[in-house]
Structure 1
Amino acid sequence: MRKISYPKVWDLDKIFMGGGKSSQFSDHIKRLEDLVHALEGSVISLITPLSTTEVIKVVHLIENIGNIRLYLSQATSFITCLLAQNPKDQDAANLRGKIAKIESHFEKELSKVKKIFIYTKEDVWESLLETEELKEYRFILYEWRENADKNLSEEALNLISDLMVDGYHAWGQFYNDLVSRINVKILINGKEENLSVGQAINLRSHPNEEVRREAHYALESIWKEKEEVFSKIINHIAGFRIQVNNQRGIKSALEDPLKKNRMQEETLHTMWKVISKYKQPFSNYLKRKAGMIGGSSMKAYNFWATVTTSKQEIKFEEAATFITEHFSKFGTEIEGFVKKAFNEGWIEAEDRPNKSAIPFCAGFPLTGESRVFMTFSGTFTNVLTLVHELGHAFHNHAMKSVNGLNKRYPLSIAETASTFSEMIIFDAAMKKANSKEEKLFILDEKLKRSVMNFMNMHSRFLFEQRFYKERNVGFVSAHRINQLMEEAINEAYAGSLEQPSIYSWVWTPHYYITQSPFYNFPYTFGYLFALGIYAKAKEKGKDFEKDYLALLRDSGSMTVENLVMKHLGEDITTEAFWEKGMALCVQDAEEFIKLTSS
């Protein structure tokens, strides 16, 4: 049999030849600048308020905005990839600053457009949106008009936009740069290893408990040493966000993230209410697993440990073959997509130092491709990370035919395709298992995901809520942040996690993503939502792929409540919807207890 080999280092030259010194990328930036200048001229030519005779002008304006977003996405994705593979790439860092300024200029012009929409009379506005030319943009235009900053003058909006480049967003970039430059010294099998943060975190699933403990406390020691620096970063990010929200008339820290996720507050609270009701089965799982490892309660550094002697080392080629085989059972399009990703160098998986610690998927909408970044060290957890990011990439693929303005879907839906992809692999691995030990291994990995979504994400949500409440009063000390983190973990885990990392607020990158506050509940939403979708997919087989693609394509042009009602016929403001997905997860926990009872 011919040995199959897949590239482990991605091909970025196919996007723009030459990396940070690419002349192609320079041309791309020039075209982007021209588009933004053209938008500026189009805005000036519009009459305020709008009249029904200006439909064509509005259409051209909207199409130009959509094109700019595509060009911006292409540029920011490329720079993100360059800095992930080499955080010390100064050319890429310089380009990042240049793109940030262009984006700031674009956001100023977009704010002007939204102001024009606000001042347009209701009857004229309705008439414009009823025209054939603007029908496909109705949702996003309504959203712009509804969510526009009515309380801020154009000058104030411009000032905030300027300050964000070297203030707000710069703090988030500084965090990423700082973490990527940290080296962690860990003793493994009597030999001191010098690892990146990403490599050290990967040791959480190492088969040797001593190595897991060593990695855990080595990281904790580093975070303790640097806690003052990180506390300044998170305080400045939150402080800037609070000031801007106050200027915009936003009083609740949740208001903006809910709008960005196109979600009602009732939906969010109902979801957490159901999750809070079903903590006990997962606490039972954690206690049982702790007993199997050798303890009365689950220590944080043992959470990702395996409970059986199932095979640990998985080659990248084996993972690629397994993923492709089982994706193919759900449709020809997803099969062809994943083959292309593996064969054409879309994935950066090499296990080497001096890489970024954070896995991600970057979309390149102009060329219809994506790039997946991770460090693959041969564990089943790595396989799940890989397939998770490939799910994001497939969502990008599904959106190829959607116009630029309607491509943007909320974060809550962004985690749906990635979780759906994980479910395919979990199910396939469970069916392939031919012993009790292997079934326990897979079931344990699946339950880890449930605990992460129902307990870990809940702790992040609780922490962020409480941190913002205190930050609203003033600067929060590192000591107090540690206390808030510990309290949130204890509550979310119902006291079932021992020696938790009180520095979770440091090494969890989501708190530092300046574009996305409260990037925690979208994961949990996506997880439970994906369970419902996956159940329907198993019922219908390959026939479901058409429906799945339609759902993903609609994800950028309606609220999550309407999306679920349209494609699943479910009301997500009711507990009944969430309890269906939760019941499947509780069954996993009960099955684990049953299998380990002897």
Structure 2
Amino acid sequence: MEKMGYQKNWNLDKIFLGGSKSNQFLDYIKRLEVLGRDLERCVKSYTTSLATNEAANLRKLVEYIGEIRVNLSQANSFITCLHSQNTKDQDAATLRGKVAQIESNFEKKLSKVKIILANTKQDVWESLIETKELEDYRFVLNEWRENTDKHFSDEEKNLISDLMADGYHAWGHFYNALVSSINVNVQVDGKEKNLSVGQAINLRSHPNEEVRKESHNALESIGEEKEELFAKILNHIAGFRLQVYKKSGVKSVLEAPLKDNRMKEETLNAMWSVISKYKKPFSNYLNRKAEMMGDSSMKAYNFWAPVTNSNQKIEYDEAAILITEHFSQFGTELEGFVKQAFHEAWIEAEDRANKSAVPFCAAFPLTGESRVFMTFGGTFLNVLTLVHELGHAFHNYAMKSVNGVNKRYPMSVAETASTFSEMIIFDAAMQKAKSKEDKLIILDEKLKCSVMNFMNIHSRFLFEQRFYEERKEGIVSSARLTQLMRDAIHEAYDESLEQPSTYSWVWTPHYYITQSPFYNFPYTFGYFFALGIFAKAKEKGNEFEKDYLNLLRDSGSMTVEDLVMKHLGEDITSEEFWEKGMEICVKDAEEFLKLTSLDDIE
């Protein structure tokens, strides 16, 4: 394939011309304000409940709400991109405040709509929801009605909404700004470099152990130095959330995230139960890899180390060609999509200072595009990160024709398309591997994914669950947070990780995401779900792409249990489903051990 010379900086001007000083975007914000006022007038026209003859009007209202959501998503994505590409952009922070106020007002109006639904008599509701007019929105409307909190008055809800915009969510934004402002000094290739947190984290896969170790220690030192500040942020976020839960009558800290993920507790318990049973194969993998590096056990800073001494660097152009080629083997729509992403500069990949540390994919539903953000350092891990985020973008692509209220899929499903994309790359690379060394490199990367989902994510889940239980009794000290993190890692890794990153509670942004508590188990769910989907894809070949697109389109209007049953025919409340996915991963661990049993890799 001919080398193209792909651009490493994304094109945001196609979305709104002029960046954070865009007059076009300021005009767009004014349009958002008008949409919000129109919605307010529309909501005021309703009484406290619905009548049986209001199906057509309700449909119009729902579609208008969907339109506003799409417009808000467009605005928020643009601001997120601006701030991430330059964390010192103060104009972007100002724009965020303006849009946050509009979004807060919108949520207040949406809350009133949900209350109207909740106040509608059951017999009237049953008659309404079965009408042809509301057929497309049945799931979401039922969800709004059932999940509406009646413990708060309208005045209290408005107050909470204001506090969330100016206080609660502000803590999350403050965390991101604080992390982005921190730099660490690390010796790389004989030179001392002043690096952002994102750049320092990228060194975890550096071929030189001393660089990996120094980067790890530098991040731990900064974490220790700033632990009090980060502990305050985390405690404030959790404290606000718990107060809302208490007022709402929510007893379990998992109740809200399970609802948000449209998942039953039985499903979550079945998944973690299977994972807990199968720690040993992955502990064996970690121990064997440590032995290959001359250690008795796996040191945390060596986990991401390459399994061989190969110093092969992957150029960005090579990565683009590799991804396009392998995606083309799955289907024509995926191939066309990824070509568009690279050719039209949807990706911000440059390795430079003042960038955010967190890779992400931002949806721009009005223009039917996405933007992918990462720092590309030339490793296979970077390729996987890029593939992961492109998977999110393909999910957005699949949802283009879906109405605004049905576009919002839960985080549990959000990680499915991204993980599925990784599977495509792994499978294609394994088929092309000619030497034992090549196979080991691929197996190592696959097993890193398994360890991340079955051990690392499990440790995050255990930490967050235990932290919230202790936070109910009062402020949790920074020292206690570090101890909770140490204990969670010890348990989740089956005692197979030495010198763990006990300050990972500082550097893990997921704990500070105010929109989504327990932003951990959805990753593991998505990983398992993707294994099941990929198995189906292997059976059907290119014919499966259409089914895959339909699955993604359904992801915003079904529970995860119903989604898996419809498209895979599996009951995910049963451990049997999770056992099937686990078998695939265990085989990878067994193959790795087999290939290295008598090997003396240089």
Q: Aligning the two structures, in what range does the TM-score lie when normalised by the shorter sequence?
A: over 0.9
Which residue is 2:367 aligned to?
367
Contact 1:86–1:355, Cα closer than 8 Å, also in 2:
yes
| Alpha-carbon displacement from aligned partner over 1:557-589 (angstroms, at most 9, x marks no partner) | 000000000000000000100000000000000
The one-letter amino acid paired with 1:8 is K
Mapped to 2, the partners of 1:312 and 1:557 lie a distance apart of: 44
Contact 1:55–1:128, Cα closer than 8 Å, also in 2:
yes
Contact 1:8–1:350, Cα closer than 8 Å, also in 2:
yes
The one-letter amino acid paired with 1:468 is Y
Deviation at 1:497, TM superposition (A): 0.3
Contact 1:85–1:356, Cα closer than 8 Å, also in 2:
yes
| Alpha-carbon displacement from aligned partner over 1:302-324 (angstroms, at most 9, x marks no partner) | 00001113453000011000100
Deviation at 1:537, TM superposition (A): 0.6
Contact 1:455–1:492, Cα closer than 8 Å, also in 2:
yes
Contact 1:46–1:57, Cα closer than 8 Å, also in 2:
no
1:29-428 map, 5 Å? 29-428=29-428
1:570-585 map, 5 Å? 570-585=570-585
**Is 1:503 matched with 2:522?**
no
SS of 1:572's partner is: coil
Deviation at 1:3, TM superposition (A): 3.4
Contact 1:310–1:441, Cα closer than 8 Å, also in 2:
no
**Is 1:26 matched with 2:26?**
yes
**Is 1:567 matched with 2:570?**
no
The one-letter amino acid paired with 2:115 is K
The one-letter amino acid paired with 1:183 is N
SS of 2:88's partner is: coil
Deviation at 1:28, TM superposition (A): 1.4
Deviation at 1:187, TM superposition (A): 1.2
Deviation at 1:56, TM superposition (A): 2.5
| Alpha-carbon displacement from aligned partner over 1:254-279 (angstroms, at most 9, x marks no partner) | 00000000000000000000000000
The one-letter amino acid paired with 2:256 is D
The one-letter amino acid paired with 1:464 is E
Which residue is 2:15 aligned to?
15
Deviation at 1:357, TM superposition (A): 0.5
Which residue is 2:442 aligned to?
442
Mapped to 1, the partners of 2:592 and 2:469 lie a distance apart of: 39
**Is 1:542 matched with 2:542?**
yes
Contact 2:279–2:493, Cα closer than 8 Å, also in 1:
yes
| Alpha-carbon displacement from aligned partner over 1:81-133 (angstroms, at most 9, x marks no partner) | 00000111111100100111111101111111111111101111111112211
TM-score computed with the length of structure 1 as normaliser: 0.99
Contact 2:323–2:387, Cα closer than 8 Å, also in 1:
yes
Contact 1:310–1:438, Cα closer than 8 Å, also in 2:
no
Mapped to 1, the partners of 2:475 and 2:162 lie a distance apart of: 24
Mapped to 2, the partners of 1:2 and 1:518 lie a distance apart of: 44
Deviation at 1:35, TM superposition (A): 1.1
Deviation at 1:10, TM superposition (A): 0.1
Mapped to 1, the partners of 2:491 and 2:130 lie a distance apart of: 50
| Alpha-carbon displacement from aligned partner over 1:368-400 (angstroms, at most 9, x marks no partner) | 000000000100000000000000000000000
The one-letter amino acid paired with 1:386 is L
| Alpha-carbon displacement from aligned partner over 1:177-209 (angstroms, at most 9, x marks no partner) | 001111110112321101111110010000010
Deviation at 1:247, TM superposition (A): 1.4
Mapped to 2, the partners of 1:4 and 1:559 lie a distance apart of: 42
SS of 2:329's partner is: helix
Mapped to 1, the partners of 2:180 and 2:275 lie a distance apart of: 34
Contact 1:310–1:437, Cα closer than 8 Å, also in 2:
no
SS of 1:104's partner is: helix
70 and 217 in structure 1: CA distance in 2 versus 1, 3 angstrom threshold:
same
SS of 1:370's partner is: strand
Deviation at 1:2, TM superposition (A): 5.0
Mapped to 2, the partners of 1:546 and 1:285 lie a distance apart of: 37
The one-letter amino acid paired with 2:448 is K
Mapped to 2, the partners of 1:124 and 1:2 lie a distance apart of: 63
Mapped to 1, the partners of 2:379 and 2:144 lie a distance apart of: 44
Which residue is 1:524 aligned to?
524
SS of 1:372's partner is: strand
The aligned length equals 598
| Alpha-carbon displacement from aligned partner over 1:204-247 (angstroms, at most 9, x marks no partner) | 00001011001000111111100000000000000010011111
Which residue is 1:595 aligned to?
595
- Structure 1, 216-225 or 55-64: larger mean CA deviation: 55-64
Deviation at 1:151, TM superposition (A): 1.0
The one-letter amino acid paired with 2:259 is K
Mapped to 1, the partners of 2:396 and 2:196 lie a distance apart of: 29
Name stretches of at least 5 consecutive residues in structure 1 with no aligned partner: none
**Identity over aligned pairs, percent:** 75
4+ residue runs of structure 1 moved beyond 6 angstroms? Answer: none
Mapped to 2, the partners of 1:266 and 1:393 lie a distance apart of: 30
Mapped to 2, the partners of 1:178 and 1:437 lie a distance apart of: 41
Mapped to 2, the partners of 1:214 and 1:256 lie a distance apart of: 40
| Alpha-carbon displacement from aligned partner over 1:502-545 (angstroms, at most 9, x marks no partner) | 10100000000000000000000000110010011111111000
The one-letter amino acid paired with 2:532 is G
